[in-house]
Amino acid sequence: MARSKMAGTVLVTTHDLPLAGALSDGFRRQGYGVELFTPTEVVAAVDEPVLLVQTGGARTPASRRHARQAAELGVPVFAVTGPEDEASSPPGVSASFGTPADAEEIVLVGSRTIERDRLRRATGIVGDTDAMLEVIERIVHFAPVDATVLITGESGTGKELVARGIHALSRRRHRSFIPVNMAALSESLVESELFGHEKGAFTGAIDSRKGLFELADSGTIFLDEIGEMPLQTQTKLLRVLEQQEFHRVGGERLKRVDVRILAATNQELEDLVAARTFRRDLFYRLNVLKVELPPLRRRRGDIPRLVDAFIREASERHDRGPFQGIDSEAMEILARHRWPGNVRELRNLVESMVILAPGRRIRAEDIPEDVRRGGGALALVPTPASDRVAADDGLQTLRPQLELLFRTMMEMKVDIDDLRRDFEEFKSEEERGRVLVGGPRGEVASTQPAGGQGETVAAGELPPAVDVGDSGPERPSSDPGPSRVDPRSEGGGVSMLVDVERDAIAAALRATGWNRRRAAEILGISERTLYRKIRKYELGEA
């Protein structure tokens, strides 16, 4: 795909000259400017840098300095790495390529990365997870057309930001974008606000007035909380959608407009249709194209990037620069919080911490106590041993319970070895006379599985690292359910968790063709953690 001369400049280091030459040719064919970059140069001195490719020596002082400079400008960094870098990527590197490096692959991945960053800047949306990349792709596909778009998602997920992104990439970008919160309009005035009114139409209408649809003519109107719109107004909106025309309140003359309508809701419109509070025909007319925003708890990989963006934003707004960011312990606390208020809650919290932090860096003690305590963190739920999946079944066959268990373990930084130590402590305490594991009321509950041999012990309480939660619906007496194992026994509860963790990692690796970076993304852990666990479980390609 040919690009304009203003596509930006790719910086290629000269550590490996033959590779640098091949990359230079490849990126130029893609329409980018290319500069061969020496150790003494400065990233900020280059006109419009869009990517830094380190062809070797990624851990040298010069390369580290260049990576820091690129990060300050929001420029992604690629690095060609050797065997010594298998355990972890060099600092500041967003993508690593092993040796011998494939120049065509680097150019292909680099071009995609540059294009994604351009789209993020145009839309204002921050996110590298698959869920958010899908959202960005939909924005790009939907923006050029004039069809109605329905944006759904929980409160605080960024629905208006998506609407603004669609408008910014559309042919209407130089015209008005008018956001309207339907929940904030009183039912008696909503039609006047949207469609305008004529003089004398009602008490207080001392003059004619244009409505928001007329003000948005040739542009875009965004109807947030569309489920709150009164039924009578829904009828008029349907006519605007179908005919692009309406009457002002109290008016006889037909008004015609050219407006693109974007709508959003955090409700299930199908349920409102079933309850007869929302018109079925309007629902179908709105739901032509759809963007579904994931809650923040399902895109935890984006939290560090969001936090960094909000810190920069808040420090500039409140004149707190130069602000040095956030330490790793504080970031870990934020990453495992549940965020019921989603991105809006995270932004507000980061802003308050930037203002109130005594230093120029957010530390764990600067985070509110309820967040530090993990009040919003996900609870670890038990998974029956019968739901474990063999590794060679592939990632797509992972049962939901196993996937939830493993992801939550990773999110809470639960380590199997730590759990093993906890169980050993419980065992030694019980030997001293304290019964810490038993039935629902502290007693030992025994069951005899159908056709089984011997007795199994039900664990009614787990260590503080594990929150059991709801045990689910009762089983019929004919179904003994999965066997539960006494964690005090050899190879008990901890072994079950070990199996779950090992199987999930193996399945992810097989499903991605042993692409460790992709597998780590799917599992929600770092490449370094994945590499450590591969060695721990002695996993290897078949």
**Structural domain boundaries in the chain:** 5-123, 132-292, 297-372, 385-447+456-536
pLDDT value, residue 430: 53
Q: How far apart are CA 262 and CA 284, in angstroms?
A: 14
Q: Tens digits of per-residue pLDDT, 391-420?
A: 334 434 444 444 445 544 444 444 555 555
Which CATH number fits the domain 297-372, given the four candidates 2.30.30.110, 3.30.499.10, 1.10.8.60, 1.10.3720.10?
1.10.8.60
SS3 of 107-140: HHHHHHHHHHHHHHHHHCCCCCCHHHHHHHHHHH
The fraction of the chain above a pLDDT of 90, given in percent, is: 43
Q: Where are the alpha helices (DSSP H) in 5-87?
A: 17-29, 61-72
Give me the mean pLDDT over the 365-373 stretch. 90
Nearest to 464 by CA among 412, 387, 386: 412
Architecture, CATH, for domain 132-292: 3-Layer(aba) Sandwich (3.40)
List pLDDT tens digits, range 112-121.
Answer: 888 878 877 7
* Amino acid 509: pLDDT: 83
Question: What are 145-181's pLDDT values in tens digits?
Answer: 999 999 999 999 999 999 999 999 899 999 999 999 9
Instruction: Between 410 and 537, name the one with better pLDDT.
Output: 537
For the domain bounded by 5-123, which CATH number is listed?
3.40.50.2300
Containing 425, the helix (H) or strand (E) segment is helix 416-431
Q: What confidence tier does 535 reach under pLDDT thresholds 50, 70, 90?
A: confident
**Which pLDDT band, with edges at 50, 70 and 90, does 292 fall under?**
very high
**Sequence-ordered alpha helix ranges (H) in 255-327:** 269-274, 280-286, 303-317
pLDDT, residue 426, reads 54
**Mean pLDDT of the 517-536 span:** 76
- In whole angstroms, give the CA distance from residue 140 to residue 162: 11
Residue 425's pLDDT band, with cuts at 50, 70 and 90, is low
Q: What is the mean pLDDT of residues 435-464?
A: 40
Buried b (16+ CB within 10 A) or exposed e, 85-98: beeebbebbbbbbe
Question: Looking at residue 71, what is its pLDDT?
Answer: 83
- Which of residues 424 and 100 earns the better pLDDT score? 100
Predicted confidence (pLDDT) per residue in 27-41, tens digit = 999 999 999 998 888
**CA dist 245 → 65, 229, 240, 241, 279 (Å):** 59, 18, 5, 8, 19
Q: Which two tokens stand for residue 482?
A: 């999965």
pLDDT score recorded for residue 449: 42
- Are the CB atoms for 467 and 377 separated by under 8 Å? no
Find the range with the poorest average confidence among 388-392, 494-498, 501-505, 519-523: 388-392
Determine the pLDDT at residue 487.
40
- More confident: 68 or 258: 258
CB 487 within 8 A of CB 494: yes
- Over residues 304-327, mean pLDDT: 86
pLDDT at 433: 52
Residue 203 confidence (pLDDT): 82
The answer to whether domain 5-123 and domain 132-292 are alike in fold is yes
Tell me how crowded residue 367 is: count the other CB atoms within 10 A of its CB.
20
Q: Strand locations in 411-530, DSSP E?
A: 445-447, 456-458
Average pLDDT over all residues of the chain: 78
Beta strands in 119-244 (DSSP E): 149-152, 177-181, 220-224
